[in-house]
């Protein structure tokens, strides 16, 4: 009996925004902007097709991130398919702080799992989280991509953990995406090695308030999204983004840098905020995605 299911199998996986101001490397939110991936086991070679974001930039061989994630998941399930066909339709922009790499990793892992008979028994969601976070290096984007919604995550030794928290249904987000990318390693390289206890305590309080605000007190989101740990240090890599964050916050809007940037995320009224989009940027009003990665066929 074949250990693989008849293909093709399709998966959709959401964009994510991490940090959300004070929740550096800890808080993440899934957004209703989805990549679509399709794969099947066939032949004895690898075929990769990419449409949409990154189509002209990503490799079409074994180094493609979705393929690497699929191979890692297959190995975890102790199977090794001879041939693989993969088609990616990317809507999550690359190198913009909206979790494109996490979407690729989680999507690839769940594609591989869906292609194996009994895959969810061989690699459950806990195992998928561990594998995805190991590949990404941290869980704050992969956890909401996998689970959906608002997720608090971290590491305990060499194990990663994640738990969902409530989101008030009144809350949605607007993202302003600039035309120029910023690599995550560049943005992270601007951070200092240490910060003051005063700043750390301020961020801890704001992060706790943010959990409560997203659950049911959206009127507190402006205060709850204040940050002292990472955003201002990254300004040399994304000055226009920080300028937009400050302008929006001065007008009472809960604006933050999304992930490592340079996208700006704002909690608030979509139609009014869309008018604040800078020239040459792209804006989306997005619902909070509550489903996470989905196998759709």
Strand partners, 15: 31
Q: Is 270 annotated as a binding residue?
A: no
Strand partners, 285: 174
Q: Are residues 88 and 14 in the same domain?
A: yes
Q: Are residues 82 and 140 in the same domain?
A: yes
Q: Is 102 annotated as a binding residue?
A: yes
In the chain, pLDDT over 70 holds for what percent of residues?
99
Q: Is 228 annotated as a binding residue?
A: no
pLDDT at 2: 57
Domain that holds residue 255: 173-286
pLDDT at 249: 97
Other CB atoms within a 10 A radius of the CB of residue 123 amount to 21
On whether the CB atoms of residues 283 and 177 are closer than 8 A, the answer is: yes
Q: Is 17 annotated as a binding residue?
A: no
| Count of domains for the chain | 2
Q: Are residues 131 and 197 in the same domain?
A: no
- Of the chain, the end-to-end C-alpha distance in Å amounts to 21
Q: What is the CATH number of the domain that holds 148?
A: 3.30.230.10
Q: Are residues 26 and 110 in the same domain?
A: yes
Q: Is 95 annotated as a binding residue?
A: yes
Strand partners, 29: 17, 150
Q: DSSP letter for 116, please.
A: B
On whether the CB atoms of residues 87 and 58 are closer than 8 A, the answer is: no
Q: Residues 167-195, buried b or exposed e (16+ Cβ, 10 A)?
A: beeebbbbbbbbeebbebebbeeeeeeeb
Strand partners, 84: 41, 46
Q: Is 232 annotated as a binding residue?
A: no
The SS3 of residue 71 is helix
Q: Is 78 annotated as a binding residue?
A: no
Q: DSSP letter for 53, please.
A: T
The pair of three-digit structure tokens given for residue 156, joined into one six-digit string? 């305990």
Residues of the chain with pLDDT under 50: 1
pLDDT digits (tens, 9 = 90+) for 239-276: 999 999 999 999 999 999 999 999 999 998 778 899 99
Q: Is 127 annotated as a binding residue?
A: no
Answer whether residue 78 is part of any domain: yes
Answer whether residue 1 is part of any domain: no
Report the DSSP pairing between strands 173-177 and 264-267: antiparallel
Closest CA to 235 of 189, 199, 187, 178: 187
Q: Is 99 annotated as a binding residue?
A: yes
Q: Are residues 160 and 13 in the same domain?
A: yes
Closest CA to 163 of 176, 177, 144, 178: 144
On whether the CB atoms of residues 260 and 113 are closer than 8 A, the answer is: no
pLDDT at 115: 96
Q: Is 21 annotated as a binding residue?
A: no
Q: Is 101 annotated as a binding residue?
A: yes
The C-alpha atoms of residue 256 and residue 253 are separated, in whole angstroms, by 9
pLDDT at 155: 95
């Amino acid at each position: 009996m074949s250990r693989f299911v008849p293909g093709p199998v399709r998966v959709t996986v959401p964009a994510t925004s991490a940090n959300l101001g004070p929740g550096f490397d800890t808080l993440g939110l899934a957004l209703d902007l989805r990549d679509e991936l399709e794969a099947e086991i066939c032949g004895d070679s690898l075929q990769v097709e990419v449409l949409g974001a990154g189509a002209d930039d990503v490799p079409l061989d074994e180094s493609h991130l979705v393929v690497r994630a699929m191979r890692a998941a297959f190995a975890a399930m102790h199977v090794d398919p001879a041939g693989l066909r993969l088609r990616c339709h990317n809507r999550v922009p690359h190198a913009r702080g909206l979790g494109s790499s996490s979407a690729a990793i989680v999507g690839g892992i769940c594609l591989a799992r869906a292609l194996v008979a009994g895959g969810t028994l061989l690699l459950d969601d806990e195992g998928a989280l561990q594998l995805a976070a190991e590949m990404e290096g941290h869980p704050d984007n992969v956890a909401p991509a996998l689970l959906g919604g608002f997720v608090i995550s971290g590491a305990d030794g060499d194990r990663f953990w994640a738990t969902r928290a409530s989101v008030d249904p009144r809350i949605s987000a607007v993202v302003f995406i600039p035309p120029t990318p910023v690599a995550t390693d560049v943005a992270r390289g601007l951070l200092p090695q240490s910060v003051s206890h005063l700043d750390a305590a301020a961020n801890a309080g704001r992060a706790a308030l943010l959990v409560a605000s997203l659950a049911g007190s959206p009127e507190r989101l402006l205060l709850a999204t204040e940050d002292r740990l990472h955003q201002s240090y990254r300004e040399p890599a994304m000055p226009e983004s920080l300028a937009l964050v400050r302008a929006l916050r001065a007008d009472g809007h809960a604006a933050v840098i999304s992930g490592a940037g340079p996208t700006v995320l704002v909690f608030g009224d979509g139609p009014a905020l869309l008018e604040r989009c800078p020239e040459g940027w792209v804006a989306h009003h997005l619902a909070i995605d509550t489903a996470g990665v989905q196998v759709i066929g």
